[in-house]
């Protein structure tokens, strides 16, 4: 008996406080499933939304506490350096929680309207949020992969929840097959990283790459290429974007907003942590590839967007183009570039959530032709103005957050002497602007006598719209605090 | 506000900030007014526009005329993380454009009836005024870019919401053309700021960057080209002018007036303030090309204007010709040519603005702008014809009216450095007389049809709207000295700055010709 402790497995020390946000979300998911099994259906619908919101707010408060810890004591890591607690992880935690609350509000009325089972939806939403947070804070490639799968598997189901719509099932299938495909790439890349550096832990990978000069780095190059392909699938960067328009179009609008904002942000978080933080010493090898991806993504997104006639599909392509801007910032491989990418992702999340909220309110039957928006400026001037502000922000018009984001991306590219890429980024903004203006035109310029549509906008959707439009304008006019937040959130790899 | 009028000390109240903010606040107030009182929108908007106008007049009176530096300067930290400040100031070049912007907006707001949706119309016009003020007053490149871009949105909405049949196409073309030009300018702005940073830290201050002159020759030239592209699209200089006739023709009258009087000036003002000032060497290097484009614009605009069937399109093309003159003046780099250029910006604002108002009034009466459908209006509407004649003569450049002073200064100044360009451009003056008088002849003379005879004459209200324009046209034609006194120091300093930073030297004043009478007498015999 006395020698048993020597044989027992000694687990790594765990800082439960740092894991609390994820645990709150997963606990809330379980609570929702429990409540829905016990409570009658009508009550559980509202209850699910309330529980999700409460979980988001509680986790948000915990995240703020963690943030002040990081401010005073510096970044740390826990669970044997597998999870990092730094400005970067908290930045994304906060972003994900804000988007979670907004999506829960948007889904509240949408699920009733479309007759989707609310408790399951909210439970999956919470799971995917927890997965996204794990992805953004993972310091270990395997943990990152677990987070990615938690996020993705929940999304597969959420997309398919529109049981009556065949296109929803089709897009879920498409996302599932291609998602599994990209996960395989990613996993293979992780395996090759392990092969070339002897660890999957990013802290170790970075130290190893700093210390060792490879005589033959083919294996590492292959690992980087495969990881990049895997992440490019997740963030829908060209030429790995083909799934995105179909999936975005077929998915329920709140889920589309959630995917375009958070699935993308989490993918970029992982990309930045792996490439900017861990592969920093080999940036000469990966930045040219990212630059090419950025170039293709910008142009494909912008050009394809103007060829569309369906508003939801237009915004799906424009979302691809926005990933291109973030890639422009990523390829500069500098602290300024990374904070520009973070700023861009943060502000874009708000714009895209608001845009898909309006699209969700407008497309009751799942159809989103441009004609349907004709005269919205006359029949619902406030809603039309909100949509206009969100669209102009995405086009990068000044006094909106979109302009400040683009400005920082351009500044980061220019600082890294990427003048050509900066110019291409700005020109693709002009191409994209044509598409946004088409929607604005449709809303405002109509012949006399045309009655605009009058969609019903539930009060939960109105709250979200007021929030996102207000935030977009506020950051457009006084961006200082968010810039500082993004500057403090550049990822660092710490051994726990 | 009380402080503003009570104290003579201009530095105590940031009047330039107030000029920008008051119309923007006005727009907000108008938006929040209840929809049940549509007739209240324009008067309330006009109050805010007039307060801004009064403040611009106050700046004019307090402006010290022989000081070439920026006055009423005000700096507030805006985005310290990126080195960006809210930095505004006014000098002799921007002063008159600010006054013009201030006076034009309340006039068109009260004078031109939008026919529907007065609330958004008023709000957009006020935002347009605020943005134009901001662009003319900005001394920070970031702030300038923000204002330069933001004015597109209200103009786009005005054309789209209150324009004529083809407004969709015209509004989108206008927006995309201008945005495409400024896209590369943003890259250049960031490049200039980043590359000039050095040890002194990043700044977007125009004054600071112009002093540093830290860029290598080739980089500066590339950046200048990016700036110049944005501005020549805005001016517009041939061959970037194609958006202008569409935008002008499809825009509602108020939009056309503000577009011609204020927004086109953003281009020429930008060339002066940011092209010549930031990149003196590159401006000298590119001057022959840009002056050539300006002269082509003068001739091309005049010829195409003569061919137009639509009166509004004709005025739009005459704008291309007039703006070409200004560009020639700017790239001739003499005190007189630059002075003439700046004065001509104001003149063009008055005469073309008034022409668009008159064409708009004619359209209100006849629901047509086609020259061939109009004839003999003079006998039916003699006062209207009289106003049209004065404005048209000003646009032609007849002595005694303002157009003559500006064109004459441009020509006489440019002749010293760009002789052949000037000789060709002078032909444009004759062409202007040709197309405008021909159009006048077809529309106002001739045999009136019964519908022409029924054209009502100018009302008192319309006369009051036009009166300030005509007063300005006459005043500047007879006594332009107050303007020139304030413009001259600023352009002199600008030319000295160009001389300091490039190998350009302005021609020394020609020695006076001394005629030897004895010699003359001997030769005579």
The answer to whether A298 and A430 are in contact (CB under 8 A) is no
Taking the CA of residue B92 and the nearest CA in chain A, the distance in Å comes to 28
Please state whether the peptide bond connecting residue B142 to the residue before it is cis, i.e. omega within 30 degrees of 0.
no
* H or E element that contains A84: strand A83-85
The gap between the terminal CA atoms of chain A, to the nearest Å, is: 33
CB contact under 8 A, A429 and B167: no
How far, in whole angstroms, is CA B332 from its chain's centroid? 19
Instruction: Find the radius of gyration of the CA atoms of chain A.
Output: 22
Q: What local confidence, expressed as pLDDT, does residue B515 receive?
A: 64
**B373 falls in which pLDDT band (50, 70, 90)?**
confident
Mean pLDDT of chain B: 88
Q: Is B149 on the interface with A (CB under 8 A)?
A: yes
- Per residue in B197-222, pLDDT (tens digit) is 878 888 899 998 998 888 889 999 99
Q: Is A477 on the interface with B (CB under 8 A)?
A: no
**Contacts A437 to B, Cβ<8 Å:** 156, 171-172, 175-176
Residue B370 carries which DSSP code? B
Q: How far is the C-alpha of B58 from the C-alpha of B8, rounded, in Å?
A: 11
Q: How far is the C-alpha of B502 from the C-alpha of B487, rounded, in Å?
A: 23
Count of CB pairs separated by less than 8 Å, A with B: 87
Q: How far is the C-alpha of A37 from the C-alpha of A34, rounded, in Å?
A: 5
CB contact under 8 A, A407 and B142: yes
Token pair in block for residue B109: 């707001």
Task: For residue A82, give the nearest of A25, A146, A130 by alpha carbon.
Answer: A146
Q: Is A426 on the interface with B (CB under 8 A)?
A: yes
- Per residue in A381-433, pLDDT (tens digit) is 899 999 999 999 999 999 999 999 999 999 999 998 889 999 999 999 999 99
- Per residue in B86-137, pLDDT (tens digit) is 999 999 899 999 999 999 999 999 888 888 888 889 999 999 999 999 999 9
Q: What local confidence, expressed as pLDDT, does residue A67 receive?
A: 93
- Picking from B179, B184, B204, B243 by the largest number of A CB atoms within 10 A of its own CB, the best residue to mutate is B179
Q: What local confidence, expressed as pLDDT, does residue B224 receive?
A: 94
Rounded alpha-carbon distances, angstroms, from residue A72 to A42, A68, A482, B105? 46, 6, 19, 54
Q: Which residues pair with B138 in a beta bridge?
A: B88
The answer to whether A468 and A354 are in contact (CB under 8 A) is yes
Closest partner CB to B161 (pick from A423, A438, A444): A444
Taking the CA of residue B236 and the nearest CA in chain A, the distance in Å comes to 19
**Exposure on the CB side of residue A301, measured as CA atoms within 13 A:** 37
Q: How far is the C-alpha of A130 from the C-alpha of B21, rounded, in Å?
A: 45
Rounded alpha-carbon distances, angstroms, from residue B290 to B119, B215, B283? 42, 22, 9
- Per residue in B313-347, pLDDT (tens digit) is 999 999 999 999 999 999 999 999 999 999 999 99
Residue B518: pLDDT over 70: no
Q: How far is the C-alpha of A276 from the C-alpha of A283, rounded, in Å?
A: 8
Q: How far is the C-alpha of A482 from the C-alpha of A94, rounded, in Å?
A: 12
Q: Give CA torsion, residues A226, A231, A237, A238, to 10 deg.
A: 20
The answer to whether A374 and A384 are in contact (CB under 8 A) is no
Q: What local confidence, expressed as pLDDT, does residue B503 receive?
A: 86
Query: Would you tell me which residues 406-425 of chain A have a C-beta closer than 8 angstroms to some C-beta of chain B?
Result: 407-408, 410-411, 414-415, 419, 422-423
Cα angle, residue B101 at apex, residues B98 and B104 outer, rounded to 5°: 145
Task: For residue A321, give the nearest of A413, A181, A433, A228 by alpha carbon.
Answer: A433
> What value does the mean pLDDT take over residues B299-325?
91
* H or E element that contains B87: strand B84-90
Q: How far is the C-alpha of A270 from the C-alpha of A265, rounded, in Å?
A: 9
CB contact under 8 A, B183 and A422: no
Stronger pLDDT, B45 or A42, i.e. the higher one = B45
Q: Report CA torsion sign: A10, A14, A20, A25.
A: negative
Task: For residue A54, give the nearest of A79, A75, A32, A73 by alpha carbon.
Answer: A32
Instruction: Give me the residue label for tokens 């103009």.
Output: B155
The answer to whether A138 and A120 are in contact (CB under 8 A) is no
Q: How far is the C-alpha of A61 from the C-alpha of A59, rounded, in Å?
A: 5
**B523 falls in which pLDDT band (50, 70, 90)?**
low
Q: How far is the C-alpha of B411 from the C-alpha of B280, rounded, in Å?
A: 22
Q: What local confidence, expressed as pLDDT, does residue B5 receive?
A: 40
Q: Is B142 on the interface with A (CB under 8 A)?
A: yes
ipTM score here?
0.91
Task: For residue A406, give the nearest of A416, A415, A387, A393 by alpha carbon.
Answer: A393
Q: Give CA torsion, residues B36, B39, B40, B46, to 10 deg.
A: 150
Strand A76-78, strand A83-85: pairing? antiparallel
Q: Please, is A131 exposed, middle or buried when counting C-beta atoms within 10 Å of its C-beta (0-12, 13-18, 19+)?
A: buried
CB contact under 8 A, B190 and A411: yes
**Contacts A381 to B, Cβ<8 Å:** 120
By three-state DSSP, how is residue B71 classified? strand
CB contact under 8 A, A445 and B167: yes
Which stretch of A42-46, B101-105, B170-174, B251-255 has the lowest confidence by average pLDDT?
A42-46
Task: For residue A125, give the nearest of A179, A178, A53 by alpha carbon.
Answer: A53
The answer to whether B491 and B339 are in contact (CB under 8 A) is yes
The answer to whether B94 and B137 are in contact (CB under 8 A) is yes
Could you list the pLDDT tens digit for every one of the 496 residues in chain A? Answer: 455 556 667 778 888 888 999 999 999 999 999 988 888 877 777 889 999 999 999 999 999 999 999 989 888 888 888 898 999 999 999 999 999 999 999 999 888 888 888 889 999 999 999 999 999 999 999 999 999 999 999 999 999 888 788 888 888 999 999 999 999 999 999 999 999 999 999 999 999 999 988 888 899 999 999 999 999 999 999 899 999 999 999 899 999 999 999 999 999 999 999 999 899 898 889 999 999 999 999 999 999 999 998 999 999 999 999 999 999 999 999 999 999 999 999 999 999 999 999 999 888 777 888 888 988 888 888 999 999 999 999 999 999 999 999 999 999 999 988 899 999 999 999 999 999 999 998 898 887 777 888 888 889 999 999 999 999 999 999 999 999 999 999 888 877 6
Task: For residue B335, give the nearest of B404, B224, B417 by alpha carbon.
Answer: B417
Q: How far is the C-alpha of A460 from the C-alpha of A106, rounded, in Å?
A: 6
Q: Report CA torsion sign: A68, A69, A73, A79.
A: negative
Q: What local confidence, expressed as pLDDT, does residue A491 receive?
A: 87
Taking the CA of residue A424 and the nearest CA in chain B, the distance in Å comes to 9
Sequence spans of domains, chain A: 14-488
Q: What local confidence, expressed as pLDDT, does residue B2 receive?
A: 39
């Amino acid at each position: 008996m006395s020698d048993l402790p020597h044989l027992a497995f000694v687990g790594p020390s765990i800082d439960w406080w740092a894991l609390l946000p994820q645990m709150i979300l997963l606990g809330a998911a379980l609570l929702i499933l429990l409540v829905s099994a016990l409570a009658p259906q009508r009550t559980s619908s509202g209850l699910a939304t309330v529980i999700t919101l409460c979980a988001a707010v509680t986790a948000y408060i915990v995240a703020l506490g963690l943030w002040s810890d990081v401010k005073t004591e510096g970044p740390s890591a826990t669970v044997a350096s597998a999870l990092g607690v730094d400005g970067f992880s908290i930045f994304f935690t906060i972003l994900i929680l804000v988007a979670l609350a907004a999506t829960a509000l948007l889904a509240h009325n949408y699920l009733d309207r479309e007759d989707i089972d609310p408790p399951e939806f909210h439970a999956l939403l919470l799971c995917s949020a927890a997965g996204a947070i794990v992805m953004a804070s993972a310091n270990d490639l395997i943990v990152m992969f677990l987070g990615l799968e938690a996020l993705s598997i929940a999304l597969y189901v959420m997309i398919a929840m529109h049981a009556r719509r065949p296109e929803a099932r089709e897009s879920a299938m498409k996302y599932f097959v291609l998602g599994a495909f990209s996960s395989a790439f990613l996993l293979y890349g992780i395996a090759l990283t392990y092969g070339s550096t002897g660890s999957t832990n990013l802290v170790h990978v970075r130290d190893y790459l700093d210390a060792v000069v490879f005589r033959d780095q083919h294996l590492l190059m292959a690992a980087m290429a495969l990881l990049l392909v895997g992440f490019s699938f997740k963030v829908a960067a060209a030429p790995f974007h083909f799934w995105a328009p179909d999936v975005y179009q077929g998915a329920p609008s709140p889920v589309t907003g959630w995917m375009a904002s958070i699935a993308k942000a989490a993918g970029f978080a992982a990309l930045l942590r792996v490439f900017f933080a861990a592969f920093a010493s080999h940036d000469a090898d990966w930045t040219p590839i990212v630059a090419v991806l950025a170039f293709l993504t910008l142009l494909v997104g912008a050009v394809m967007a103007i060829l569309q006639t369906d508003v939801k599909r237009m915004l799906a392509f424009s979302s691809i183009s926005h990933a291109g801007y973030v890639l422009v910032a990523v390829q500069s491989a500098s602290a300024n570039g990374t904070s520009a990418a973070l700023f861009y992702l943060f502000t874009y999340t708000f714009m895209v959530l608001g845009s898909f909220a309006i699209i969700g309110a407008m497309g009751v039957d799942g159809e989103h032709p441009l004609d349907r928006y004709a005269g919205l400026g006359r029949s619902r001037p406030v809603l039309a103005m909100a949509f206009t502000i969100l669209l102009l922000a995405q086009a990068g018009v000044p006094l909106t957050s979109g302009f400040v984001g683009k400005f920082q991306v351009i500044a980061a590219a220019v600082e890294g002497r990427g003048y050509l890429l900066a110019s291409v980024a700005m020109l693709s903004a002009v191409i994209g602007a044509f598409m946004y203006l088409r929607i604005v035109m449709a809303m405002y310029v109509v012949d006399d006598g045309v009655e605009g549509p009058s969609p019903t906008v539930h009060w939960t959707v109105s709250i979200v719209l007021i929030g996102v439009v207000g935030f977009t304008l506020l950051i457009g006019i006084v961006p200082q605090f968010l810039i500082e937040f993004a500057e403090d959130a550049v990822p660092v790899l710490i051994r726990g | 506000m009380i402080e503003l009028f009570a104290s003579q000390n201009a530095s105590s109240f940031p009047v330039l900030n107030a000029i920008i903010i008051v119309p923007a606040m006005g727009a907000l107030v108008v938006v929040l007014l209840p929809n049940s009182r549509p007739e209240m929108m324009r008067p309330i908007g006009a109050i805010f526009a007039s307060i801004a106008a009064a403040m611009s007049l106050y700046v004019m009176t307090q402006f010290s005329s022989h000081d070439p530096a920026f006055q009423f300067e005000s700096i507030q930290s805006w985005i310290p993380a990126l080195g960006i400040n809210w930095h505004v100031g006014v000098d002799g070049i921007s002063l008159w454009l600010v006054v013009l912007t201030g006076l034009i907006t309340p006039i068109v707001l009260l004078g031109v009836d939008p026919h529907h949706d007065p609330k958004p119309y008023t709000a957009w016009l006020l935002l347009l005024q605020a943005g134009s003020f901001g662009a003319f007053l900005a001394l920070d490149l970031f702030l300038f870019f923000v204002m330069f871009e933001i004015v597109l949105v209200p103009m786009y909405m005005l054309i789209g919401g209150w324009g004529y049949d083809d407004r969709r196409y015209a509004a989108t073309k206008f927006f995309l053309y201008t945005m495409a030009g400024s896209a590369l300018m943003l890259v250049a702005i960031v490049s200039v700021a980043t590359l000039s940073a050095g040890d002194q830290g990043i700044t977007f201050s125009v004054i600071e960057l112009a002093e540093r002159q830290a860029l290598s020759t080739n980089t500066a030239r590339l950046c200048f080209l990016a700036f110049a592209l944005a501005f020549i699209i805005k001016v517009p200089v041939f061959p970037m002018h194609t958006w202008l006739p569409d935008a002008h023709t499809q825009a509602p009258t108020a939009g056309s007036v503000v577009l011609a009087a204020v927004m086109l000036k953003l281009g020429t003002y930008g060339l002066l303030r940011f092209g010549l000032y930031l990149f003196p060497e590159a401006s000298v290097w590119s001057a022959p090309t840009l002056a050539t484009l300006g002269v082509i614009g003068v001739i091309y605009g005049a010829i195409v204007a003569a061919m137009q069937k639509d009166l509004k399109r004709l005025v739009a093309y005459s704008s291309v010709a007039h703006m070409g003159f200004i560009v020639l003046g700017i790239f001739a780099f003499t005190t007189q040519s630059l002075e003439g250029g700046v004065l001509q910006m104001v003149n063009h604002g008055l005469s073309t603005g008034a022409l668009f108002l008159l064409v708009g009034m004619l359209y209100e009466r006849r629901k047509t702008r086609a020259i061939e459908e109009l004839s003999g209006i003079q006998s039916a509407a003699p006062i209207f014809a009289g106003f049209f004649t004065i404005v048209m003569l000003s646009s032609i450049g007849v002595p005694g009216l303002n157009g003559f002073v500006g064109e004459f200064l441009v020509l006489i100044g440019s002749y010293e450095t760009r002789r052949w360009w000037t000789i060709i451009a002078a032909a444009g003056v004759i062409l202007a007389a040709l197309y405008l008088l021909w159009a006048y002849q077809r529309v106002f003379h001739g045999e009136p049809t019964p519908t022409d005879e029924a054209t009502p004459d100018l009302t008192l209200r319309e006369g009051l709207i036009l009166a300030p324009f005509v007063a300005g046209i006459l005043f500047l034609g007879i006594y332009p000295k107050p303007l020139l006194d304030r413009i001259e120091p600023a352009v002199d300093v600008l030319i000295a700055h160009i001389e300091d930073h490039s190998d350009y030297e302005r021609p020394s004043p020609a020695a006076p010709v001394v005629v030897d009478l004895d010699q003359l007498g001997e030769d005579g015999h």
